[in-house]
Structure 1
Amino acid sequence: MFRSLILSACAIGVVAGLAMTAFQSFGVTPIILAAEQYEVSEPAEPESAHPHEAAGHTHEHGQAGGHHHHGGDEWAPADGFERTFYSAVSNICAGIGFAALLLVVMNQLRERGRMTPNASRGLLLGALGFVAVFMAPSLGLPPEVPGARAAALESRQLWWVATVLLTVAGLGILFLAGGWQRILGVPLLLVTHFFVPTHEGPMFSHPDPDAVTALNELHHQFIWATGLSNLAFWLLIGVLCAVTLNYLSRTGRIHHEQVPA
């Protein structure tokens, strides 16, 4: 059973990762490239004045769709095929990991009689994964285009991890607990949003007001583009996991016995 689930997760991750790369190529990457044009024209400033410089170009919401790193002498893939290739590798790795987690969760729910794997249930769990890994963190730390200023990388990473874990726990309680116990999940969904790491001052420090206006517009477009691409990514993973698990169950490649809840 374990081998079947792992191989299935790898296959699903490849499909979802390549699909995500296609979504990015048409919707996300053009926005990043457009924002980089303004970033290059910014005046150089002492590195010590901006300890969050590299972090300001990082979007930490699950997939490579918003990951973007630039800073000083740091290596970065060349535009074109090389950049697309590394994005695809990152997306595939993320897809395999998320698919493995969803398959395990779905299989546990199936064995306990809490869920029959099908496309609609896959869409639901995929949507919940999107909420936990992308939407909830984005409410506090929206995706950032190149040139945006943000709080220190370490504090944002810690906040992101805490938000994802607590959101998963909160959603699990809301959907799986019974009676009044479900309300215990609500505080878990909200608590980290009272302690969001913030950056003081304007998001963009470009000296040209027209450039700042353009960057703000690109920033809004980037939020929508990354959100829609990540939603499609998670829904695809959810459906593929449910359909695959249903197939494995019907063909006897995973156990059918139910575990008492």
Structure 2
Amino acid sequence: MFRSLILGACLVGLILGLAMTAFEALGTSPIILAAEQYETAEPVAHHHDHADHDHGESAGHHHGDDAWAPADGAERLFYTTVSNICAGIGFAAILLVVMNQLRERGRMTPKVQQGLLLGALGYLAVFIAPSIGLPPEIPGASAAALELRQTWWIVTVVLAAAGLGVLFLATGWKRLLGVPLLIAPQFFVPVHDGPMFANPDPEAVLALTELHHRFIWASGLANLGFWLLAGVLCALVLKRLADKGRLGHVNAAV
């Protein structure tokens, strides 16, 4: 069973990675490239170092004389695709394991509708919950220390997933216990003191602000497509494995 789930996750992750790369090419990547023009431009008689920042995509990005970064074009597309496929495999494996556990306990059947529901819950936990406190960022945006943001993101995703699980799986008043898990991380969001963008040019700040708003929406739509597709594909893979008898028996729901 474990081998079948892992192979299924690899297949689903490959499709998800390619799909996410396409979503990014149509939505977020053009915005990132536009924002980078303001980030790399050096103001007259002013020199500064660029801090690390998140793009809201699979991989981080560093600037500096000795920092390596993939070249624009085919090389950048290749590394983005590989990163998206790896992320797709990881998330697909988690979804398949969760779906199979629910199926074995009689809490769900591997159908497209159920897959869409779990995909939507994954979207809420992995994208929406962290984005409430730390929205996706474009190049040139100032933010709190990377380690603090990464730690907060992990804690928020874990608590959001647990909270949603309690809300949908618990019964009676016990469902209310999921609410504190959902909202608790929002009280400890790592914040950055100072302007949102380091560029001192007011016109550049206006342009970056507009790009930032567009980037949040584009990232949201790309991730929504990713998670809904993930839910559907995982449900179809699980159904096929169950029909072939490669999974465990189903127990009665409790």
Q: TM over 0.5: same fold?
A: yes
Q: By how many angstroms is 1:256 displaced?
A: 2.6
SS of 2:194's equivalent in the other structure is coil
1:71 counterpart = 2:63: yes
Instruction: State whether residues 55 and 139 of structure 2, in contact with CA within 8 Å, keep that contact through their aligned partners in structure 1.
Output: no
Partner residue of 1:214? 207
CA distance in 2, matches of 1:74, 1:258: 54
Which residue of the partner structure matches residue 86 of structure 2? 93
* Deviation, structure 1 residue 182: 0.4
Where do residues 20-59 of structure 1 align in structure 2 (5 Å cutoff)? Answer: 20-43=20-43, 45=47, 53-54=51-52, 57-59=53-55
Match of 1:108 in 2: 101
By how many angstroms is 1:68 displaced? 3.9
Query: Residue 117 of structure 2 aligns to which amino acid in structure 1?
Result: L
Quickly say closer, same or farther: Cα 1:45–1:172, change in 2 above 3 A.
farther
| Cα deviation 1:157-184 (Å, max 9, x = unaligned) | 1111110010011001001111000000
CA distance, structure 1, for counterparts of residue 77 and residue 216 of structure 2 = 20
TM-score by length of 1: 0.92
Q: Report deviation, 1:45.
A: 4.7
Structure 1: how far apart are the matches of 2:250 and 2:202? 65
**TM-score, with normalisation over the residues of structure 2?**
0.95
Q: CA contact under 8 A between 2:115 and 2:234: conserved in structure 1? A: yes
Q: Give the superposition deviation at 1:254.
A: 1.5
**Identical residues among aligned pairs (%):** 67
Structure 1: state its 5+ residue gaps. Answer: none
Paired letter, 1:204? F
- In 1, the alpha carbon distance for the partners of 2:197 and 2:2 equals 48
Q: Aligned runs of 1:125-140 on 2, under 5 Å?
A: 125-140=118-133
What residue in structure 2 maps to residue 180 of structure 1?
173
Q: What does residue 117 of structure 1 align with?
A: 110
Q: What's the CA shift for 1:59? A: 4.1
Residue 14 in structure 1 maps to residue 34 in structure 2: no
Q: Give the SS at the match of 2:227.
A: helix
The one-letter amino acid of 1:4's match is S
Matched, 1:251 2:247: no
Q: Is the 8 A contact 2:13 2:87 kept in 1?
A: yes
Q: Contact 2:123 / 2:227 at 8 angstroms: preserved in 1?
A: yes
The count of residues paired between Structure 1 and Structure 2 equals 251
Q: Does 1:229 find its partner at 2:222?
A: yes
Secondary structure (helix, strand or coil) at the match of 1:6 reads helix
Instruction: Note if contact 1:35-1:147 (Cα within 8 Å) is conserved in structure 2.
Output: yes
Q: Deviations over 1:175-232 (max 9, x none)?
A: 1111000000000000110111111111112121111100000000111111110110
Equivalent position SS for 1:223: helix
Match of 1:163 among 156, 159, 172: 156
Q: Name the structure 2 match of 1:201.
A: 194
Q: Which amino acid aligns with 2:34?
A: A
Q: Distance in 2 between matches of 1:252 and 1:150?
A: 50
Residue equivalent to 1:2: 2
Runs of 4+ in 1 over 3 A off after TM superposition: 42-47
Instruction: Look up the equivalent residue of 2:54 and give its one-letter code.
Output: T
CA contact (8 A) 2:106 2:250 kept: no
Q: CA RMSD, aligned part only? A: 1.5
